[in-house]
Chains A and B, each alone.
Chain A
Amino acid sequence: GQNIDQPTEMTATEGAIVQINCTYQTSGFNGLFWYQQHAGEAPTFLSYNVLDGLEEKGRFSSFLSRSKGYSYLLLKELQMKDSASYLCAVRALNTGGFKTIFGAGTRLFVKA
Chain B
Amino acid sequence: DTGVSQNPRHKITKRGQNVTFRCDPISEHNRLYWYRQTLGQGPEFLTYFQNEAQLEKSRLLSDRFSAERPKGSFSTLEIQRTEQGDSAMYLCASSLDGEQYFGPGTRLTVT
Contacts and interface: CB of A to CB of B under 8 A. Distances in A.
Interface of A: 31, 33, 41-45, 48, 87, 89, 94, 96-105
Contact of A104 (B42, B45, B99, B100): B42
B100 A100 contact: yes
4 tightest Cβ-Cβ pairs between the two chains A and B: A102-B42, A97-B55, A42-B102, A45-B99
Contacts, number: 51
Interface of B: 31, 33, 35, 40-45, 48, 50, 55-56, 91, 98-105
B63 to A, nearest CB: 18
25 contacts: A31-B98, A33-B99, A33-B100, A42-B102, A42-B103, A42-B104, A43-B43, A45-B99, A45-B100, A48-B98, A89-B42, A96-B55, A97-B50, A97-B55, A97-B56, A98-B48, A99-B48, A99-B56, A102-B35, A102-B42, A102-B44, A102-B45, A103-B42, A105-B40, A105-B41
Contacts of B98: 31, 48
- Residue among B35, B99, B100, B105 with the most chain A CB within 10 A? B99
A58 B91 CA distance: 28
B56 A44 contact: no
Nearest to B101: A45
Given A96-B55, A96-B56, A101 B102 contact: no
B45 A44 contact: no
Nearest to B42: A102
A98 B94 CA distance: 13
A15 B40 CA distance: 26
A3 B41 CA distance: 14
Given A96-B55, A96-B56, A105 B101 contact: no
B40 to A, nearest CB: 7
Nearest to B6: A42
Given A102-B44, A104-B42, A44 B50 contact: no
